[in-house]
Structure 1
Amino acid sequence: MKRSNFIGLAFTALVTLFTQVPASAAELELLHPGKLLVATEGTFPPFSMRAPNGALDGLEIRLMTEICKRLGLKYEPVLIKWDSLLIGLQADQYDMTSDSMDITPERQKKVTFADGWLESGGVILVPRGSAIKSVNDIKGKHVGALVSSTFAKIGEDNGAIVKGYKAESDALQDMANGNLDAVITDAIAAGYAIKQSKLPFEILPEYVSHVQKGFAIKKGKPELVKAINKTLAEIVADGTYAKLTTDLVGFNPAPKNPIRSVE
């Protein structure tokens, strides 16, 4: 082989090698080299929960695991209560959140969301046989919802007496104990809870909101946002997203037209 050809092949091999090396912390604006610290509750099935063996599982956990694998990063979940998620993000306690957070104009002013990763909506759960048949019937009723959530605001806007909870499971348990007339929550979470726990509840057919969920990132980290968006799009396009989510919720909840990031 000619020396020039050998040098050319060697150069090509080096280029290939370096393009496969994971991006550095500086390139992705990470807090720690080689690690992606991601906040989640760990108590909101089927988004984040504990598997029978005690390991974290759920829609967001599976997607984050795959994203980190493709980016060559170590995935480090950070368990945080819902009402502290954005506070911790702004304080640089983690790189981003994966929790089931609705993308809203108000939140977009505070953080940058990666492109919408899941489409769902708010629904009302009631005990079987309840007199509540629509959102118009919750006025004056005791309704549970995650504290500081869009669901709590929907309840308040419709005249309900809203009680905030730090964990979805606590609200459902309170309703099972007869302390609530209804719970407003995510449609996917509601369906999963009834199916898995055989709860004596029913979901009203009327959606009270239509939303997309987003991974929140502190403003000023455009490279991290780009990397997450690119990797997420690849996971959806090659069918991996459907494989990771369908067995949990029975269908592919990827948005057909994702809400795009706004810096």
Structure 2
Amino acid sequence: MKKWILGIVLALTLCLTGCQSVQKEANTQDTWNKIASKKQVVIGLDDSFVPMGFEKKNGQLTGYDIDLAKAVFKQYGIKVSFQTIDWSMNVTELRNGTIDLLWNGYSITPERQKKVAFSKPYLRNRQVLVVKKDSDISSFKQMKNYELGMQTGSTAEQWYETKQDVLHAKKTVLYDTISNSFLDLNAGRIQGILLDEVYADYYIAHMAKSSEYKVIQNDRVPMDLFAVGMRKGDKTLRQKVNQGLAKLQKNGQLRKLNEKWFGRNNSWLGK
């Protein structure tokens, strides 16, 4: 009986060691030659992050990062395959070699930098306040006299709960969608909306009356910088992504993509 149990323990130990070895190898390899040979790169994403990468009603993936990734790898004659993943397991999927890149509004943080390598940042994001253009509101502080809308469970709601010294509204109203918050803003039932800058720019740029709104920023709100995440061993792939982004900036394609999705050129590349 003891020998049988010992055999099982030994087998499990060997299996675990083998899995860790495969994961470590995948994380340290430079896979560019393999990608170039197959002419395909696999990008992991969360397909619900509007406007970076999301699924339309017909099931087709679209978004700023979708267009940007395709434009970068088109320069190398490489097809991009997008794979929806459990975003909470994104680093594991990357290390296992299931995907080659994380490209979906992926913020650079000190904690993530311990686990993955990043491209140069290409886009900025932060919490902003959207109000009607004819409103007297011009700063975060003025919201203390007005009602503020936010999406339930959003980054904006989480940020607001811990930053009352920066922004404190007379009353907050939570919505299931940002669209509904804009309906109430237009009707005067709330006087401001707190949301991600990328989403605010996207939403306003695609509205029929986009000129009726203004976006207010605050220097006390920290910035998120979006970049492409990859395995630390993929130094050549990182170089190729950075070179591809730089070329898009130089030839004007990056500006056109920004204007298409956000209504303005808000690239962070090279800053």
TM over 0.5: yes
Residue 242 in structure 1 maps to residue 270 in structure 2: no
- 1:37/1:96 contact within 8 Å kept: yes
Residue 244 of structure 1 aligns to which amino acid in structure 2?
Answer: L
Q: Does 1:191 align with 2:201?
A: yes
Distance 1:212 1:146, change over 3 A: farther
Q: Structure 1 residue 48: deviation in Å?
A: 1.8
Report the secondary structure of 1:245's partner residue.
helix
**C-alpha distance 111-185 of structure 1, shift in aligned 2 (>3 A):** farther
**Which residue of structure 2 lines up, in the alignment, with residue 7 of structure 1?**
none
1:158 alignment partner in structure 2: 163
Deviation at 1:90, TM superposition (A): 3.2
**Number of aligned residues:** 220
* Correspondence for 1:91: 96
Q: Is the 8 A contact 2:47 2:55 kept in 1?
A: yes
Distance in 2, Cα, partners of 1:227 & 1:256: 15
When structure 1 is superposed on structure 2, of 79-88 and 26-35 the one drifting more is 26-35
Unaligned runs of 5+ in 2: 1-29, 168-174, 185-189
Render the CA deviation track for 1:167-217: whole Å, top value 9, x for unaligned.
xx9553786899xx9975421212323554789xx7761342323211111
Counterpart of 1:63 (choices 38, 60, 68) is 68
Taking only the aligned residue pairs, the percentage that are identical comes to 21
Shift of 1:144: 4.7
**1:98–1:216 CA contact under 8 A, matched in 2:** yes
Superposition RMSD on alpha carbons, in Å? 4.1
Q: 2:243 aligns with which of 230, 244, 254?
A: 230
In structure 2, what is the Cα distance between the partners aligned to 1:94 and 1:61? 15
Distance 2:262 2:131 in 1: 20
In the alignment, the residues of structure 2 paired with residue 32 and residue 41 of structure 1 have an alpha-carbon distance, to the nearest angstrom, of 27
Secondary structure of 2:202's aligned partner:
helix
Which structure 1 residue ranges, 5 or more long, are not aligned?
A: 1-24, 161-168, 259-263
Does the CA contact (< 8 Å) of 2:124 and 2:267 recur in 1?
Answer: yes
1:172 to 151, 168, 178: 178
Q: Paired residue for 1:103, among 108, 122, 126?
A: 108
Of 230, 247, 251, which aligns to 1:217? 230
Asked if the contact 2:123–2:269 (Cα under 8 Å) also holds between the matched residues in 1, the reply is: no
Residues in 2 aligned to 1:126 and 1:86: alpha-carbon distance in whole angstroms: 37
- 8 Å Cα contact 2:149/2:194 also seen in 1: no
Say whether 1:206 aligns with 2:217.
yes
Q: TM-score normalised to the size of structure 2? A: 0.62
Q: Which residue of 1 aligns with 2:39?
A: 34
CA deviation after TM superposition for structure 1 residue 245, in Å? 2.7
Q: Shift of residue 125 of structure 1?
A: 5.9
- Give the 3-state SS of the residue equivalent to 1:253 in structure 2: coil
**Offset, 1:37:** 0.6
Q: 1:92 to 1:187 in 2, by over 3 A?
A: same
Shift of 1:126: 8.3
- Residue in 2 aligned with 1:254? 267
Partner of 2:26: none
Whole-Å separation in 1 of the counterparts to 2:250 and 2:153: 32
Label 1:35 to 1:146 Cα distance change in 2 as closer, same or farther (>3 A): farther
CA distance 1:212–1:177, change in 2 (3 Å): same
Deviation larger for 37-46 or 67-76: 37-46
| TM-score, normalised by the number of residues in structure 1 | 0.64
Q: Measure, in 2, the Cα distance between the counterparts of 1:152 and 1:29.
A: 43
Report the CA distance between 1:247 and its aligned residue. 2.0
Amino acid paired to 2:264: F
Task: State the Cα deviation string for residues 51-83 of structure 1 (Å, max 9, x = none).
Answer: 576532221111111112112222101123543
State the 1:109 CA deviation. 2.0
Report the CA distance between 1:92 and its aligned residue: 2.7
